[in-house]
């Protein structure tokens, strides 16, 4: 899911019309943005919107703009669902990161997670209490191996 040395991000930049990266370091009150337009990076600038939380947001627009054959054969509903499933998987193993996925055409929020310190809390938030009620955290060590 993560790519290798930024390959995933480079692929996103190469196939999207606009990619916007906004980030704020924990020791700074200022957020910075970098915009890529058709694969070409513009200057890094100070964000015009106040960013309360620390971290990075990646926003993409016009996916597959330069691949008309791919764009023509794409089923938007299926592709959105695939992206949502991948983000659910990533969010479950990184509960300390919040994720959101929105469809800008329908303005529908497809996924919204919150930062938490527990995979179970994150699972409960995504799938609901009824499905998660039988889950328990596991932590065991044996012969130098640890499972948690």
Q: Which residues contact 72 (CB under 8 A, 6 or more apart)?
A: none
Listed ranges 35-44, 104-113, 131-140; the one with the highest mean pLDDT: 35-44
Average model confidence (pLDDT) for the chain?
86
Buried/exposed 120-141: b ≥16 CB within 10 Å, e otherwise: eebbbbbeeeeeeeeeeeeeee
- The 8-class DSSP code of residue 71 comes to H
The pLDDT value recorded for residue 44 is 93
Q: Please give the model's pTM, rounded to 2 decimal places.
A: 0.71
Among 2-6, 72-76, 117-121, whose mean pLDDT is lowest? 2-6
89 neighbors 101 (Cβ within 8 angstroms): no
3-class state of residue 79 by DSSP: helix
Whether the per-residue pLDDT at 63 is higher than 70: the answer is yes
Q: Which two tokens stand for residue 145?
A: 């191996």
How confident is residue 20, by pLDDT bands cut at 50, 70 and 90?
Answer: very high
Phi/psi-derived region of residue 113, left when phi > 0, alpha when psi is between -120 and 50, beta in every other case: beta
Residue with tokens 């008309």: 68
The pLDDT value recorded for residue 2 is 54
Whether the per-residue pLDDT at 10 is higher than 60: the answer is yes
- Residue 19's nearest CA partner among 4, 1, 34 is 34
Using one digit for the tens of pLDDT, what is the confidence trace for 35-58? 999 999 999 999 988 887 888 888
Whether the per-residue pLDDT at 80 is higher than 70: the answer is yes
The pLDDT value recorded for residue 36 is 95
């Amino acid at each position: 899911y993560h790519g290798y040395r930024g390959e995933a991000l480079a692929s996103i930049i190469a196939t999207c019309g606009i990619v916007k990266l906004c980030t704020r370091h924990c020791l700074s009150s200022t957020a910075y943005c970098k915009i890529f337009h058709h694969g070409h990076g513009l200057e890094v600038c100070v964000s015009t919107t106040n960013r309360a939380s620390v971290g990075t947001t990646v926003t993409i627009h016009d996916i597959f703009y330069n691949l008309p054959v791919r764009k023509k054969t794409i089923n938007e509903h299926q592709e959105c669902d695939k992206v949502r499933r991948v983000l659910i998987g990533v969010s479950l193993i990184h509960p300390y990161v919040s994720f959101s996925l929105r469809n800008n055409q329908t303005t529908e929020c497809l996924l919204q997670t919150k930062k938490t310190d527990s995979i179970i809390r994150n699972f409960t938030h995504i799938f609901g209490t009824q499905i998660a009620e039988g889950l328990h955290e596991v932590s065991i060590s044996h012969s130098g191996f640890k499972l948690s």
